[in-house]
């Protein structure tokens, strides 16, 4: 199964108070830690919602401002055009993803029960997602339920929403590969 990794990074980070994707975690930006975790698990890696380094930028679909589902639809459409089978998605604010995340989520569709934006989504789910984005219920769990995704429990994932959450993360550096 050919996977496209998608880092969702278009949020406004209101609770964080600044650009959390670029927040320093150890010796690097938080988004770079996420990229390090996803890169070995996928055939290619993109960033959705912003420019970041050498990564291909993908735009939310059908337009910005639709939250993580708009980002995911943009990634799924890009994956379909590129001949990928599925998208492994993760937000830019979860720097300690497991190195076997894709394996834990196989087969698609599946998502992390505690953090549903982290998931493995088949490209065939794009039309359903487009329909859901046209409705009033734009929750990731609603999409997951409608596409028959399995919830997979993965303990120990830390989502950084506020500056104080960085303290819970503890020290990590560029050489950190597994946790």
Binding-site positions for GTP: 8-10, 20, 93
Closest Cα partner for 74 from 13, 31, 137, 10?
A: 10
Q: Within its chain, how far is the Cα of 42 from the centroid?
A: 13
Query: Which SS3 state, helix, strand or coil, does residue 132 take?
Result: helix
Residues 102 and 116: beta-carbon distance below 8 Å: no
What is the Cα–Cα distance from 147 to 30, expressed in whole angstroms? 30
Burial of 102 (0-12, 13-18, 19+ CB in 10 A): buried
Q: Which residues are part of a known binding site?
A: 8-10, 20, 93
What token pair was written down for 17?
């108070």
N-term to C-term CA, the chain: 26
- In degrees rounded to 5, what are phi and psi of residue 171? -75, 130
What is the Cα–Cα distance from 118 to 157, expressed in whole angstroms? 10
Q: Which residues are part of a known binding site for Mg(2+)?
A: 93
């Amino acid at each position: 199964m050919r996977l496209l990794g998608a880092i969702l990074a278009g949020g406004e980070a209101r609770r964080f108070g600044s650009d959390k994707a670029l927040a320093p975690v150890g010796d690097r930006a938080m988004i770079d830690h996420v990229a390090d975790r996803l890169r070995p698990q996928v055939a290619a890696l993109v960033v959705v919602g912003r420019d970041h380094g050498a990564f291909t930028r993908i735009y939310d679909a059908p337009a910005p401002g639709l939250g993580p589902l708009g980002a995911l639809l943009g990634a799924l459409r890009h994956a379909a055009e590129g001949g990928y089978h599925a998208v492994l998605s993760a937000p830019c604010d979860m720097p300690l993803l497991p190195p076997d995340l894709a394996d834990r989520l196989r087969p698609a569709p599946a998502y992390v029960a505690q953090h549903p934006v982290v998931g493995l989504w088949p490209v065939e789910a794009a039309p359903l997602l487009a329909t859901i984005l046209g409705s009033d219920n734009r929750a990731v769990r609603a999409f997951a339920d409608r596409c028959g995704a399995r919830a997979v429990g993965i303990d120990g994932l830390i989502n950084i929403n506020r500056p104080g959450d960085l303290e819970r993360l503890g020290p990590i550096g560029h050489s950190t590969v597994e946790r």
